[in-house]
Amino acid sequence: MKKLIISIGLASLCAGLWGVRQVRAADNGLEPKFKQSSYVNESVTLKNRYVTLHFFKRIKGWGWAEIETPSGKLMAVMDHLGELMIRDQDIPMRLEADSVSRVSTPEGESLVFRVKSVVVRDMLKGTSFDNWMHYPLAEPAITGVVTIALENDSPFVKLNYDLTATGNYHVRYLRGPWLKVGESSFGTAKDDAILPGVDWAVGDEWTSGTDFFKDPWALRVAPHPNKVSVPVMAISHDGDAIGLSWNPNEVAARWFNYRTQHPQPVFASPNFVDRMNNQLMGLMIPDASTEGHENELWAENALELRIGQKIVFNAELWLTKGNSVDVVTEWVLRNGLPEPAAPRWDYRDALDRMAEAYNTNLWHEGRGFGVVQRSIEEAGPNVPGFLVRYMQENKKSEVVKQLQAKIESVRPKGGSQPETDEARKKRLEKQGDEILAIQRADGSFAFEPDGRHFRKDDFKVATSFVEPMGLDGATALDITILPAMDLLRIGRETGERRFLDAARKALDYCLPMTRPEGGDFWETPLHAANLFAAGHAAIANYQAYEQFGDEKYKQKAVYWIRTILPFTHLWEPEGMPSLYYTKPVLSSSDWYFANWVRDHVQWEVLGVFAQSARENIRWDEIDPEIDWLKFQRGITNAALQWMSVHTDDNWRPHNIPETYERYRQGEFDYCFPDTHNSVTGLFGGMFIAPGPIADNIYYLLDREAETAKSRK
């Protein structure tokens, strides 16, 4: 993977290089839009064709900044150059600089601030407070250099904080980049706000809101860093978006052999942290090292900094057109998708292991194949599609011969007559007309939790002891997309225009939507951001493009497939495999019974890409800016890491405790579990048959063979 963050060399080092020009940079006369600060009529500007940053000087020093689009729209205020709160003083201390230097190179310009934390004692000297308030610190607690760099032709502003503790201090917090989005501009209004893997709010929703969680899980303002799937925060307003990214594995602070502190993201839209009319994204230490310390913006157990200890923040901010999905996509385009982990087994070896599992622990005499966890009724004579292909390609294998005998032993006697073309058309038309009968005039379909959407009693339970997770008659992306997909298929296969027209009307109804919602409707809040819905919408819109030739459907298909990115872990903590692990939905189940911001689920993303493969939808060719074939390899290799081998002893049951002993006996070997905990690294939940993994493996092998053939 390309390096996440490119650190900026300090100006003191740059000054000695050939071609560098370093000058005092202050100008006069610029009027700030942000009025809630002192100002001494000194400012300095850093700009190119993508972004403008105006820095201003307070009474006691630099500074704070306003970040504007090229058209002059104020997107955010950088509130300070750092802020420190120590245990033994009740007033926070900003980091300020007496002066600012501009460093120019052929590549761009930097502003260099030699900062120090304010000394409250000095601030009060000579005032009416001097004789009755006396604070102990007589010197700055933190000193260092903050460098803001902008290349001539890049939208990415590089933020480098290189700080040093001047003594031993117990720190409640030390803040680095700290952006108040919408301050003195659009306030709390937004199109959307995304902290990938953690939060996705639209319109007037709150991040950390109780729309899709209930407390204590709802609060996600400073989550455990492992829960963040892509290290970027994004907020958009009226077609303009701002992003802040960082390297989550960077050592922000460490002393001797003590625990490493990594940058801790802080995200609030609206800014309920300061309870002000703006939106917050920032980085700080200490980090949320365990779930018990999540959301501590003021550390109860203060972090001790030692004399001479280094503290570093490196980040990038940028502006772009579009929404928060575009910000996440630009992060991917800039950094590239990470190289997937090596497969746990060679793909052919993995297929052999799966076939052997179907021949042994997944075979149930007299019943058929299945992952039996509750009842033997879960086993049956149906043969997984991948196993059919495996048997065709490995006819001489002893395992295949045994599988063939097993299949014959449960095959229904006499068989059934094949369906005629006429009968098939009648059946499809009947199905299509039943769908048309429930389509509403605007093209949408209604959510019916007690009717066609009833799967299990989760909605009834959640409604009875808390509140409904979705309203009867509401709609959402997946609620309308799934019948639209059926109508497209039926229209293609029957040639009946009424089904195609109805499918198009349903798809058009969904075109204005921007957040994928409505998947996992059987147990999660209806409108929570959802990966399954994203995948279904991508497939449906691309099929509509193939059917109708309208470019708008292709564009929307690309948009929806890209909305899978915020659910996908595109980095991994040191010692915690998680590359390409995915979150299914940014919500709880049943309000209190499962936390899908904490837990990964892999079967849904595998299903999306397996379905795409069956439909011959090649996302790497449709959206060539992103290496979707690498992405598919990533999610597949991740799933191989999930596959159960009971001697690993890394799984425990959730709702069927009695399955643990059977797990220990190897009955679920080479299946994969429902969940992975992003904090503990352990697996749990019910087991899933390995078919979705095999389907993706076969697709990847076919693409490899195709590439090899084309090179000959």
CA distance linking residue 243 with residue 115, whole number of Å: 25
> 434 and 289, same structural domain?
no
Residue 243's nearest CA partner among 184, 326, 174 is 326
Q: How many CB atoms lie within 10 A of CB 536?
A: 24
Residue 383's nearest CA partner among 696, 700, 694 is 694
Domain presence at residue 435 = yes
Residues of the chain whose pLDDT is less than 70?
1-29, 291, 415
Domain presence at residue 452 = yes
In the chain, the number of structural domains is: 2
**Distance from CA of residue 523 to its chain's centroid?**
21
pLDDT at residue number 415: 67
pLDDT at residue number 6: 34
Tokens matching residue 333: 């385009």
Over its C-alpha atoms, the chain yields an Rg (Å, rounded) of 29
Per-residue burial over 390-410, b if 16 or more Cβ lie within 10 Å, else e, is bbeebeebebbebbeebbeeb
CA distance linking residue 707 with residue 709, whole number of Å: 5
> 314 and 437, same structural domain?
no
Domain presence at residue 79 = yes
Q: How many CB atoms lie within 10 A of CB 534?
A: 30
Beta-strand pair 651-652/683-688: parallel
| pLDDT tens profile 79-91 | 999 999 999 889 9
Domain presence at residue 330 = yes
The kind and range of the H/E element at 559 are helix 551-562
> 446 and 320, same structural domain?
no
Domain presence at residue 492 = yes
CA distance linking residue 332 with residue 624, whole number of Å: 13
Of 317, 335, 353, which residue sits at a domain end?
335
Cβ atoms 447, 475 nearer than 8 A: yes
Domain presence at residue 200 = yes
Report helix, strand or coil for 416: coil
Tokens matching residue 636: 């597949």
Cβ atoms 577, 681 nearer than 8 A: yes
> 443 and 305, same structural domain?
no
pLDDT at residue number 245: 99
Backbone angles phi, psi at 318, to 5 degrees: -160, 160
> 456 and 329, same structural domain?
no
Backbone angles phi, psi at 127, to 5 degrees: -100, 180
**Where does 16-107 have alpha helices with state H?**
none
- Classify burial at 662, counting beta carbons within 10 Å of its beta carbon; exposed 0-12, middle 13-18, buried 19 or more: middle
Domain presence at residue 130 = yes
Domain presence at residue 579 = no
State the CATH number of the domain containing residue 168. 2.70.98
Of 288, 315, 335, which residue sits at a domain end?
335
Cβ atoms 582, 642 nearer than 8 A: no
> 159 and 280, same structural domain?
yes
Cβ atoms 57, 43 nearer than 8 A: yes
Residue 158's nearest CA partner among 146, 167, 145 is 146
CB half-sphere exposure, 525, CA atoms < 13 A: 21
Of 335, 362, 381, which residue sits at a domain end?
335
Residue 401 amino acid letter:
K
> 319 and 435, same structural domain?
no
CA distance linking residue 617 with residue 610, whole number of Å: 10
pLDDT at residue number 136: 82
CA distance linking residue 426 with residue 497, whole number of Å: 15
CA distance linking residue 124 with residue 73, whole number of Å: 37
> 330 and 433, same structural domain?
no
**Where does 476-519 have alpha helices with state H?**
477-494, 497-510
Please report where in the chains the tokens 């001539």 appear, as a residue.
152
Please report where in the chains the tokens 């409904």 appear, as a residue.
468
Residue 54 amino acid letter:
H
> 327 and 445, same structural domain?
no
Domain range for 480 is 425-518+530-550
> 325 and 227, same structural domain?
yes
